[in-house]
Each structure stands twice: as C-alpha cells, then as structure tokens.
Amino acid sequence: MTILRTLCGMLALCALLLAPHTLHAQAIESLRAAETAQRALPLAPRLPRVAFLENRTLVAAELSPAGDAVAYLREQKDSRALWLLPTCDGNPHMLVGSTQAEQVMWSRDGRWLFLRAPRALTIVGIDGRSGVRVPLGGSERRRVIKLDLSQPAAVLLGERVAAGKGERWPAVRWRIVRMDAYGKRTVLREDTRWIHDIALDAQGRVVALTRFEGGHDALYRLHTDATLREVLRLRPMQRLDLLAARADGSLLMTGNPGDGFDGNFRRVLRLDANDRLQTLHQDPRGEADLDDVVIDPRTLQPLAASYRSTVAATYGIGDAQATVAAIAAKFPGRDIGLQAGSGPSAHWLVRERAANLRDPRWYLYDPRNGDLRRILDDPGITANSPPESNLARKLAVSYVASDGLRVHGFVLLPPGVDAAHAPLIAQVHGGPINHFRAGYDGTAQFLANRGYVVFQSNFRGSTGHGRAYTFSSNGDYGNGRVQQDIVEGVRWLLAQGIGDKARVGIVGHSFGGYSTLLGLTFQPELFKVGVAGSPPADLGWAMRWLVESGEQGDLPDRSLRQTLRALSLDGGDPATYARLHAQSPRVNVARMRRPLLIMAGSADRTVAIRDVTDYVARLRTLGQPVSLLVEPGGGHAPVDPIPREAYLFAMETLLQRHLGGPPPEPAGPRLRAYLRANLRLAGPEF
C-alpha cells in the first residue's frame, strides 16, 4: 500500500510539472471559443440595479430526515415566517408567523425544528407546539455547535463558564452542553481549552473532539475515564469537521490533515479505530477543496461530495453514486446542492444554482422512479429574478504566472458584446483568506450587464485550491507577488484579445479594496479607475487592529492570530508590520493619482473607519481625486436594500464616467436622499 501511495504521489507530481503548458493552451482555446459564442448572442437589455440585489425571499430550506417534508424560511413584506411543505403533493402551511431565524435544522426524529437566529435558538414542534428559546452570544459566548444525532431531539451548545469577575482568558473554562427540545440540559464536557467540534457515539457519549491548543488545533479521542489522547495535530490552515462516530470505532470527517501531498486538499475522510486515515473522496480534477458533503441521516454514511472552486461538480460516494449521477444528469453544466432523506425510497431535495441564476431553484427527486418536481416556485418567491439569457456566462480560467505557478480564476463575458473592445474590470475578492466560486455574483453580473468584462482572480494566497496554494503567497501581500498575480491575469486576458487595454478598472471589497488601492498606486498605467469598499490602507496596521481591537480581537480561541502569523500577515510582528507598512497605499499616497471611490461603514469592526478616513484625508491634502460614501451605523458591508443599491449606483457612476458604458439608471427619491446625506466627499463624477 505504501509503494502504491508513493507511486500515485509521483504520478501526480509529474502531472503537475507537465500540466501548465497543456492546460495553458487549453485555457486559451476555451476562452476564445466562449468569447466567440457570447459575442454571437443578442445584446442583453439593461436591467434595473435592484435586479442584482440577491433575493432574500427564500432564506433557507431543509429536508426532513425521513424525506417527507421541507421546512423553509420565507420573507414576506417586513416579516419572516417558517413554513412546512409535505413532499407528497401536500399544501404548505405556516408554523411560525414571525422569526429572525437564518437557519433551520431538523431533529433526528423529525418532530422538532431548531431555528437559529443571530442572538437566539428557538425550538418548534412540527405540530405547532412551542419549545424552548435560548439566547446565543452574550457573556456566556453561547453558540450552536451542531445537532445531536445520538438523541431523538437535541442540539449541542458550546458556552463559557463564569470564571469570576475580572479574570482573563487563561482562567476561563468552556462547556459542551446537550439541550433537548424541552430545555433539559446535560453537561457533556467542561474544558480549559476552546472546543471546536465533538463526535458522539450511539449512546450519546463524547468519543472525540477537536480543540485549540494555544498554537495549533488537534484531534483527540476520549477514553472512558474522560482523559484525552491526541490523534492528529493540525497545522495552520488545516481543519477538521467531525461528521459521525461509527460503531466500529472509526470517525467520519472532512478536512485536510497530514503532511505534504496528503495534507493539501480538503476531502472526505475516515479515521479507523487504529487511527489510520483513509480518503473516501477528493476532487477528481485535483484542483479544488471539498465544499460540501451529504450524509445519510440514518446510517451517517457519506453520500455525495461537492467542489466549487473551479468547475462546480457534485459526485456520488459508494452506493449513492448512481443516484447522484442520475440527478446530476438532469442539470448539465449546473451546480447542484443535495439533501438526502433516509432510506432508498425517501425523497432528495435538490438545489439548482448557476452563475447566471440569481436565485436558486428547488426540486424534489424521487429515487424510485427518477421523477423530478420543482417546488417553492410561486410568484411571490421567484418574482423579479433576471432571465438567465440576460446574464453573463462565467468561465473558469487558469493562467501561468511569470514564476511558473498556475493561477486560477473566472471571467464573465457579457452576451452580445465584442470583448476585444469592451472595458475590463478586475474584481478582487476579500479575505484574503477567501476565494471566488463558480456561482452567482451580483456585483460581477451587474457590471457585465453594463457591458464590462469582469475578471476574478483566485490569486495565490486564496483558499479553495488547497493549503499549498494558500501558502504559496509566502506572505507577499503588499505590492508583491499576490498583487502581481492579479496584474498578470489582467495582462494575460488583454493578450488574448479580451478587454480594451485603454479602459481597465479595478474594484473590490475589504482585501479587494486594499488591492484596488495598490493597483491604482503602483500600476496606474494599467488601471485607470478604482472602486474600493471598506479598504485597509495599511494592511499591517489593519491586521494588528483586527486581532487586538476589532471584531475578531476577542475570539476566545485566538486562532486568527496563529493563522495570520503562519501567512506572514501578523501585524503584531515588527518585521511583518514594517514590510507591509512600507508597501502600503497609506505610505505611498503621493503616487495615487487615478480617480477613486471609497465606500465604508461607520461602525465597521473588521476594517477601522479611522483607517479609511485617514487615508482619504491624506489624498485630499494632496489634492488627489477621491469620493467617499459612508453608511451611518453600517458594518463591514452593506446589508439593507438602499445602502446596497447605493453601492452599485456609485460604482456604476464612477466607472461609466472614466471607462464608458451606458449612463446610470437615475436614482429614485430614497436613494437620492441617502446619497445626499452620506456622500461625504463627491468628486466631479457626482
């Protein structure tokens, strides 16, 4: 077995070494063919801005364990309600008329629903009975960990144990509690360390857990006397989620533990009773981390795995391969999400998504006869969704950076547009511990609808493509290798005849906003205009503030600091701070002469508003062109409809003035009033 694994690893390495040239040629050919096909389509009509604000009418939908009902959260006017739809042609009925819940979870016995809201967990019976309500957050730091599948109707909570007035984190203890539908609490474990996740046996006893050890995460098995035995020690950016404990002593998990090739991609795993790891499924393309796994609610066997960092694909596992393949065949070229009922005759819930499908579509699949029936499609739910033909095709691409690394990304090509003469927008994702996926992106589709080609780079340092890809940044997040990936991707597209080199812009939010400032500062010959949402002007300062004072400054597991340190982004390290500070847009503010729009929230606890306003003040002092839109009381990104529409309107106004395109749709009375009150600095574009 060892020889076979070594041989497989060598073959994979050879494929990686030989692949770039072949893949590069294939990427160019696919891109040109797609551009030709899109150019031949009718020009899409210009859609209203509000069409690109993703629909929140249907908030969540969950299939019952038996596959006999779908519970869903639906917004109507100013309220959100919980509904129940029988899967056998019954009519839906309302269970709860008003709730703030964002997630629905079924109890194992299918008789109770757990509704999780930002600040409370409410339990409701499917017969309309009211269960208990428990607050979340607060001084107890109470959080929902997962459902307790060892019990008919219970949930697992994590909470802080009071440790005395004025005591600091080292004296704090953390408790794992089982709470049933009637509010009965059972303490399962109390620990000095923050516990991420636990696994229970069929009797409801804790048999394994993952916890933070001060400098790393680790997986432990529990002995019968509750003592711990370390099984796996994880490195930064390695993670484990415990799915189930089996009767044979094995653990079903997802994650990316291990060294070298084995510890790269996130996958479906089994840890046997002798602590040997077995990969049950990983991306057959060798490109993407696992995004989602489907588990049989009765047997706890893995049924399907989904990957979405490049081409969205879902595969069956074991005996479910034929069923999953049959479902996937009904949705060629689409991204499907699955939920399975228990047993061979139970319905499956299917969610259909695509880059040009703003709102998911929902179906029930009957494995007995292959019938597929669309549900949750009444006009109140599907209203105002843009026609797919009016939205842009999103193509997965890859290009070879100047140092030989293959870089991943996406390009959105507007229908009916000659891409060679269209303005090109580089859209940069936030994080940077994040990545673009194959699905719908409202901002990108809005820009494409206005005639822009949109390029989304999953530059090195992005997640979703394996741990090695994330760490290949080597901490070079200033005006260095990471930014160079974005710049080289834009130049690669221009060399393929995609985009007008005289009309190139850059936009992004959070880290994407930081990249926008870098692009305008250090590559003004390429980027003619930029839009930055909540941008840190000095990444070293911003990362230090985030872990000391910002939203994540009081995380009890302190894992963010460890991650930033591993990625060479720890602003608390003097050398890291000095390097990022020297390359920051703030220090190099005199070089920034391109038109810029900055948007931010006054109560942002991820990027300090004073970091944003300080940078804007420096630009104004130097007489540089800048506009500033601030959402009063807003967080890191706008949530409410008017601030979100203002974001799109301001972006479109600036880009249209400097890159061309149709004039913006006039602002309505509410939007005009919002802009008058909150556009703190208005450049000539406004």
pLDDT in tens, 507-521: 999 999 999 999 999
Q: How far is CA 431 from CA 173, 405, 457, 536, 560, in A?
A: 30, 21, 13, 11, 12
What is the pLDDT averaged over residues 535-540? 96
pLDDT tens figures, 327-360: 999 999 999 999 999 988 899 999 999 999 999 9
Does the structure show a pLDDT above 80 at 571? Answer: yes
CA–CA dist 433, 1 (Å, integer): 35
Does the structure show a pLDDT above 90 at 222? Answer: yes
What is the pLDDT averaged over residues 86-111? 93
| pLDDT, averaged across the chain | 91
Does the structure show a pLDDT above 50 at 5? Answer: no
Q: Are 251 and 231 in contact (CB under 8 A)?
A: no
Q: Which tops the pLDDT comparison, 330 or 79?
A: 330
Angle at 73 between CA 68 and CA 78, to 5 degrees: 155
pLDDT for the residue 98: 92
Q: What is the CA radius of gyration of the chain?
A: 26
Tokens of 136: 């979340």
What is the pLDDT averaged over residues 498-527? 98
Does the structure show a pLDDT above 50 at 8? Answer: no
In the CATH scheme, what is the homologous superfamily, with its name and number, of domain 16-54+385-502? Alpha/Beta hydrolase fold, catalytic domain (3.40.50.1820)
pLDDT for the residue 553: 63
Label residues 307-342 b or e (16+ Cβ within 10 Å = b): bbbbebbbbbbeebeebbeebbeebeebbbbbbbbb
Percent of the chain with pLDDT over 90: 79
pLDDT tens figures, 540-568: 999 999 888 876 666 676 678 888 888 88
CB atoms within 10 A of CB 389: 11
Q: Which tops the pLDDT comparison, 653 or 1?
A: 653
User: By three-state DSSP, how is residue 464 classified?
Assistant: coil
Does the structure show a pLDDT above 60 at 166? Answer: no
pLDDT for the residue 550: 73
pLDDT for the residue 560: 81
Domain boundaries, the chain: 16-54+385-502, 283-383
What is the pLDDT averaged over residues 201-220? 93
Q: What's CA 331's distance to the chain center, in Å?
A: 23
Q: Which tops the pLDDT comparison, 301 or 552?
A: 301
pLDDT for the residue 131: 79
Does the structure show a pLDDT above 90 at 463? Answer: yes
Q: Which tops the pLDDT comparison, 138 or 260?
A: 138
Question: CA torsion, points 279, 230, 219, 237, in degrees to nearest 10?
Answer: -90
CA–CA dist 51, 582 (Å, integer): 42
pLDDT tens figures, 584-601: 999 999 999 999 999 999
